[in-house]
C-alpha cells in the first residue's frame, strides 16, 4: 500500500474505533446523561437548523482573529526590540516572566471590570493568551542569532536599519512563525473560557448555554467537536506559512 492511502486509512480506522468505543461505553453503562455519538450529530444538525451554528462559529473566529492579530502586531515588534536592545530586555523581562504564567482564565474577573461583557473582554483574554508566547519567542529568536551573520553583515557596511530588515528579521522569521502556530492554538483553546463571560454568542457560549438548558449534553459535546474541528483547520492553514521560501531554510537544516 502506498503512503498516501495509509495516511488516510489509518486515521479513519482510529476514528472509527473511537466512535464505537464511545458508543459502546454509553450503551454498556446505561447512562441517561451522556449522549451517544449519533445524538451529537443530531445536535449539530439541530444547531444548523436553528441557524446558530454559523453565527457562533463566526463569533468565535472573529474574537480569535482580532485578539490574535493584535497580539502579533504588538508581540513581534516588542519581542524583536527586547531581543536586540539588551537594556530594554533587562528592564522588561522580569515583568514579562511574572505575567506570562498567569492563565487567561484568571484574568476573567479583571476583564469584566475593565471591558464589561461585550466582545472586548474575550478579545482581551485571547490577546493576552497569545501575546506572551509570541513575545518570548521573538526575544529568544533575536538573541539566538548566530553572531557570524551579524558580523558578516556589518563587514558589508550595512546600516542599522538594513541590518535589522535584511539580516535579523529574516533570520528570526522561522522561529516566529513556529510561535505563531503554537499561540494560535492557545488562542483557540482560550476562546471557550473567554466566552464563558456573558457574551451571547460563540462556541464557548454554546457549551455554557447547553449546560443551562438542562439535559443537553449532546449540544455540549457538539460544541466540543466543532471547536476541535475548527482548531484543526486553523492549524492546517497557519502551517502553510512554513512552506514559503523565505522561511523554509529554517526548517531544513539551512544553517
Shortest Å distance, C-beta 210 to another protein: 9
- Which sign does the torsion angle of CA 133, 134, 139, 143 carry? positive
**Angle of helix 108-115 versus helix 120-143 axis, rounded to 10:** 120
* Least distance from another protein to the Cβ atom of residue 216, Å: 8
Options 15-23, 87-95, 126-134, 240-248: segment touching another protein (CB under 8 A): 240-248
Helices (H), ranges, the chain: 3-29, 37-49, 52-84, 86-99, 108-115, 120-143, 147-155, 160-163, 169-194, 203-212, 217-239, 245-248
Q: Is 211 in the site for another protein (CB under 8 A)?
A: yes
Answer yes or no whether residue 30 interacts with another protein by CB under 8 A. Answer: no
> For residue 95, what is its C-alpha cell?
515583568
Q: Among 12-20, 41-49, 136-144, 237-245, which window interacts with another protein (CB under 8 A)? A: 237-245
Buried b (16+ CB within 10 A) or exposed e, 87-104: eebeebeeebeeeeeeeb
In the complex, minimum distance from the CB of residue 198 to another protein, in angstroms, rounded to a whole number? 5
Residues 117-146 contacting another protein, CB under 8 A? 117, 119
- Site residues for another protein per CB under 8 A: 32-33, 54-55, 58-59, 61-62, 65-66, 69, 108-109, 112-114, 116-117, 119, 196-198, 200-201, 208-209, 211-215, 217, 241, 244-246
Amino acid at each position: 500500500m502506498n503512503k498516501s492511502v495509509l495516511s488516510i486509512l489509518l486515521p479513519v480506522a482510529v476514528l472509527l474505533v473511537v466512535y464505537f468505543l464511545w458508543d459502546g461505553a454509553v450503551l454498556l453503562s446505561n447512562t441517561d446523561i451522556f449522549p451517544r455519538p449519533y445524538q451529537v450529530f443530531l445536535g449539530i444538525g439541530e444547531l444548523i437548523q436553528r441557524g446558530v451554528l454559523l453565527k457562533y462559529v463566526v463569533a468565535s473566529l472573529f474574537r480569535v482573529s482580532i485578539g490574535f492579530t493584535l497580539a502579533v502586531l504588538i508581540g513581534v515588534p516588542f519581542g524583536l526590540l527586547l531581543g536586540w536592545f539588551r537594556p530594554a530586555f533587562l528592564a522588561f523581562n522580569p515583568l514579562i516572566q511574572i505575567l506570562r504564567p498567569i492563565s487567561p482564565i484568571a484574568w476573567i474577573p479583571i476583564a469584566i471590570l475593565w471591558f464589561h461583557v461585550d466582545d472586548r473582554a474575550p478579545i482581551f483574554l485571547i490577546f493576552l493568551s497569545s501575546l506572551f508566547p509570541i513575545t518570548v519567542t521573538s526575544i529568544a529568536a533575536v538573541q539566538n542569532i548566530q553572531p557570524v551573520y551579524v558580523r558578516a553583515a556589518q563587514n558589508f557596511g550595512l546600516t542599522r536599519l538594513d541590518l535589522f530588515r535584511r539580516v535579523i528579521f529574516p533570520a528570526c522569521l522561522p522561529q516566529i512563525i513556529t510561535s505563531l502556530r503554537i499561540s494560535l492554538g492557545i488562542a483557540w483553546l482560550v476562546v471557550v473560557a473567554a466566552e464563558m463571560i456573558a457574551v451571547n454568542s460563540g462556541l464557548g457560549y454554546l457549551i455554557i448555554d447547553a449546560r443551562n438548558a438542562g439535559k443537553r449534553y449532546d449540544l455540549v459535546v457538539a460544541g466540543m467537536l466543532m471547536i476541535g474541528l475548527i482548531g484543526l483547520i486553523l492549524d492546517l492553514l497557519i502551517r502553510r506559512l512554513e512552506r514559503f521560501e523565505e522561511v523554509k531554510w529554517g526548517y531544513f537544516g539551512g544553517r
